[in-house]
Every structure is written in C-alpha cells, then in structure tokens.
Structure 1
C-alpha cells in the first residue's frame, strides 16, 4: 500500500467500510468492484453476513429477546440478526415457528416447548425455505409475535433481495398480532430488489445504538423505533 501512503491495516479498514456500504465485494487478497446492473452480486451469503456488524446484532438480539413472553407462539424469519436473536431467547416455554434452517439448528439445541421448521424450496445462500409450500404452511398459522429482518430500509419501504423470502416474511407479519423488524444501522437508507412491507405497518423497529439521530427522528414519524444499548 506504499503507493497510497497508508498502512495495510488502514487499507483493510477502508475496504471493509466500502464493502459494508455494498460498493465493492471483499475477495481473497483484496476486493472487486460490483458489476453495474448485476443485482445478483449484491446478495451476500449467510456465511458472509455472519461476520458483519456482529456487536450491533448482538446488541439488538439481547434487547429483542426480552420482548418474548412465556407460552407465546412466535415466528422468526431468516437472517443472521435473527440467528443472534434465537441464541438470546431467555425462555424455553414458547413455541417457535421458523422457515430458517440456521435458526432451527440453533434452537434445536434448546428444550423449547415446541419448535416447528416450515419447509419448501431451500435457498442455500441464506438457509431459508421459500415457495408455494412455505406460504401454504405459514398461511394456516397465527402468531403472537413475528420477528423479521431485511436488507434495506428507505423512505416508506422495507426490502430484501429475494422476492420469495420477502413474500414469506410478509405473510408471517400479516398473521402476527405484533410485528417486529430487527435491523442494524447499516440497513437504513438502503434499497434492495423487493419491497415486502411498509414501515408504517410494523409495530416496532429495533436497531442498534449507532443509528443516527437524524434517521431515527425521520422514521419515527412512521412507526416506533427503539435503539438498543451496547
């Protein structure tokens, strides 16, 4: 990095910041620019996301875990933030329904009252089950609370990369008495391919302490937003 007159550590930090903003993709030994017009390059795998904003996701998960009460039936959608949430659930006397294989595997180590994995077409990149069979199963169920995540929150919209994953999360939210969106600060002011829900239809958005006060104030006009504490 002598040509740029910066240390290797500084360069790696800059590259990670650009990757977090979806301006490039980290590869072995460096980074590559995203190809213009190729949305497929923007979908990170579950494994890649596990290493992003881990402290913030942990922060959100700890707070959200205390929203769950005994004997409730809750839905947990796919996503690494929700995997952190599954680990932080403070009680076992609940029924959990999920279409996320990673969430199921985490909770299968516990002794929950009831744990249900919704099947369907498997998306290996995220570990989610989607499609007609998934939607049919979710449509037949009712939840005390639904906890979902997303890839982008902007203006009035909540968006994700996959239309199929978005449709499953939308249906679970519609069948829930209380609707919660768990998203770290990096998801705000970002678009993604498929809008699956309106911000104003969510009961509460739970984010981390790094969300700017300006963004908080702007979106608070549409729904309740809670910043968790480190």
Structure 2
C-alpha cells in the first residue's frame, strides 16, 4: 500500500472514530507497527492528527471543539496556501464577507486589493484587516463567543440579512456526505445567512476537514461555487470532490 493511501485511511478512520490504535491499524492495513508509528508522527507534525500513546486522536473530535487559540498553528502551511488562492478571488470594489476561522485570518497576509468593503463577525479577522486600510471594514455585532472569538446570535443574524455580498468566504469544521458542518448551531446559522446573501460562495477547508462529521450541518456542498483545499488532500478524495463541486487545490507555498 502506498504511503498516500495509508495516510488517507488513517485520517478517515481517526476522524470517523475520534481515536485509533496502532494495533487496529496494523491489523487493518497489514503494515508493520514501526511504519505506522512513523506515519502517525509525520501526520502529527503536519497537524492532521494528534499523536497519543499507542495511537492517534482526531484534531477535532465531534463534540470536542478546539478553541481558536489551539488551532492557530495547526496545518499552518496548508492554511496559508489556501488563503493565498482565496485572495485572488476578490474583485476590486467588491463587498465581501469573511467568516471566522484561522484559515480565513491568513487571507490578510496576501491581501493586495485595498478598494473593497469587508464585513466580518470574527474579531481576529477584523484585527488582521484593520491595519490594511481597506475602503470599509464592518464588524458584525452580537453575542460574543469566546471559543471561536466571533459574534453570533439574533443581532448578528439580523444584520447579515440586510446585507449583500459579491462573495462570502467561510470555513468549516467538517465536510462529509456533501454536508458542511460546524460545532455550534448559532455560528452555523450565521454562516448560512452569509452564504445565502452572496453571489459567490467560497469555502476554505484544509485536508484535515474532509470526511469528518461535526455537530451542526449548515449548508449543502452542492450549493457552493468553489471549494479551496491544500495539496495534502489524497488523490482519491481530490477525485471524489472534483465530481461534486468546483475543487481548487492550492499549491504549496515556496
């Protein structure tokens, strides 16, 4: 079995079950434990899973949401590569929504177009862009959710419903069975509204988010205009999702 095939199987298994033991992987893949331990170590270094004694744990187990501060360094090269591609989708004079998420925060690093209006519910996104002197920067208010450093609730929803965007850029916690999922229903509802009020609906998701379930489904993959991911996504999953949506694989940054 090829290394890429092993990694795809390990990632799918750990994201589905939350944890997996080296013993179980050894029995299922018929590969030496030494090889599997090396695979898990390398995958942990890339932020695709968490190495634990005797096996591995999902970076984001369903029902166990990681705080934003714990995500900032996970899969960082992949997130930056995705963000660079996403920035190229922004047209001059556009009004865009940028949702919460550590991948979306990275868009500010590659931002060139200044003549845009940016709307966000994410405090870190707001702080990242306020130094760039864009045309307008709008912060959506509401109830503050510390876990994701974002504003949610009826006040935020009402504000988004009155706005229109040329493009909405959002991220997610899980993507499986053609469903976009997140850990919090109120946050998911705000994401849904931002997508509904956009002409272009663009989703940013690193490879670790694929084939993983989470608590709340907020949108259907079929309604997305583009899905941007990174080159760590296995060839098998790339082929699968190319048949379901407009998939863009961001090349690694040099």
**TM-score > 0.5, shorter chain as reference:** yes
Give yes or no for contact 1:61–1:84 (8 Å, CA) kept in 2. Answer: yes
Deviations 1:114-137 (A, max 9, x none): 000001011111111000000000
**Alignment root-mean-square deviation, CA:** 2.7
Give me the whole-angstrom Cα distance separating, in 2, the residues matched to 1:44 and 1:153. 17
**Number of matched pairs:** 215
**Aligned match for 1:194, one of 206, 216, 234:** 216
**CA drift at 1:63:** 1.0
Note closer, same or farther for the CA distance 1:85–1:15 as it changes in structure 2 (3 Å cut): closer
Confirm whether residue 65 of structure 1 aligns to residue 87 of structure 2: yes
1:116 corresponds to: 138
**Corresponding position of 1:82:** 104
1:13 aligns with 2:13: no
Q: Which moved more, 1:11-20 or 1:135-144?
A: 11-20
TM-score (norm. length: structure 2): 0.77
Moved more, 96-105 or 206-215: 206-215
The aligned residue for residue 221 of structure 1 is: 243
- Match of residue 188 from structure 2: 166
Q: Which residue of 1 aligns with 2:172?
A: 150
Deviation at 1:211, TM superposition (A): 1.1
Give unmatched runs, 5+ long, in structure 2. Answer: 1-33
1:53 maps to: 75
Which residues of structure 1 form unaligned runs of 5+?
A: 1-5, 25-29
Q: Is 1:132 matched with 2:154? A: yes
Q: 1:7-37, CA deviations, whole angstroms, 9 ceiling, x for partnerless residues?
A: xxx799379369744786xxxxx89x98xxx
Q: Secondary structure at the match of 1:192?
A: coil
Distance in 2 (alpha carbons) for counterparts of 1:133 and 1:106: 23
Report how far residue 76 of structure 1 moved: 0.2
Q: In the alignment, is the contact (CA less than 8 A) between 2:40 and 2:51 conserved in 1?
A: no
Give 1:221 deviation, angstroms: 2.0
User: 1:177 matched to which residue of 2?
Assistant: 199
Residue deviations 1:135-189 (CA, integer Å, cap 9, x gap): 0000000000000000111121010101111100000000000000001011101
How far off is 1:220 after superposition?
Answer: 1.9
SS of match in other structure, 2:244: coil
The CA distance in 1 between the partners of 2:91 and 2:132, in whole Å, is 16
Q: What is the distance in 2 between the residues matched to 1:183 and 1:19?
A: 14
Note if 1:96 corresponds to 2:118.
yes
Aligned to 2:10: none
SS in structure 2 at match of 1:67: coil
